[in-house]
Structures are given as structure tokens and as C-alpha cells.
Amino acid sequence: MPDNGDPTWAQQARRFYDLLWEYSMINEYGQRIFTGKLRDVYNATGASNASYTRIRKLLIELGVIRIVQRGNRHQLSVVEITGELPPSDLLPPGHLTERTAAATMVVEVERQVKSLTAWRESLLKGGLDIAEVLKDFELRLTRLEREVRKIGSQA
């Protein structure tokens, strides 16, 4: 599978799409339709079970497939292939505006590290008031806990 900058799961999405295309047929209305077990096609990509939903959603968001009928134990899935994958990286529409909790937390931790570094340097320049240090430390810790709880509730 060629590596064109896509993460592994996106490469597997490309493979999933290629297999759907390969096993599909043109119906009497000129639509390219896959009829079969999506799980079998998915397993052929070698992707982990955790990537299945991500791959399916990506292809739907890109507008290249439409699930006409979800299959089950007694019924095959029917998927219409509605477009072609872009030759460039496979990234979901709007990916640049997504804000993850992990990214927000990294920024917050970096800010706190800078603050603590500045605090430590100020202590090296002057005397040390233990009571003031403990009070300041408690305030910083309380603020950090509040921020982490806030970020965690957004995730």
C-alpha cells in the first residue's frame, strides 16, 4: 500500500474503499453498488477493530460511499459508491478546526511548566519565604486541578 502521507488508519480506509470498488457492480440505474458483508471487506484491510467506525465515517464524510442497507446476520449490506477518493491525504472534512482535549491539555501543561520555571528562577535570585512558597504552591495546585477538571469535562 503506497504511503502518501496518510496515517495507517487512513491507508486502511483507502484499501477498504478499493476493495468495495473491486467487489461492486453497476446496477440497472448506473449506480456502483457493493452487496455483501462489510466485515469481511474490512477484515481484508488488516485494520484493528477500533478503526472500523473511523474508517466507515471517514468514507461517508468524504461523500464517496453511502450505506443503503446495514447488514446483519441474515441480511447483506448494500453500499453505494458515490465518488472517488482524493489522491491526496485522507483527512476528514473540517479536520483543521477540530480541537481535541489532548491538544488543549498540552498547551495548559506547557503554560504551567513555564510558570513554575519562572517561579523557581525568582527564588534563586532572592530569599525564600517558606510560608509564602507554600501558599503560592497551594494556589497554583488548586488552579491547575480546576483547569484539568475543566479540560476533562470537555472531552
pLDDT (tens, 9 = 90+) of the chain, 155 residues, equals 444 445 677 788 888 999 999 999 998 988 999 999 988 888 888 888 878 888 888 888 888 999 998 888 889 999 999 988 877 666 655 544 455 666 667 777 788 888 878 777 776 776 667 777 788 889 999 998 988 888 888 76
- CA pseudo-torsion sign 109, 113, 114, 119: positive
CB 79 within 8 A of CB 110: no
User: Distance between terminal CA atoms of the chain?
Assistant: 34
CA atoms within 13 A on the CB side of 126: 8
Return the closest-CA partner of residue 103 out of 50, 51, 155: 155
**64-106 confidence digits (pLDDT tens):** 999 998 888 889 999 999 988 877 666 655 544 455 666 667 7
pTM: 0.54
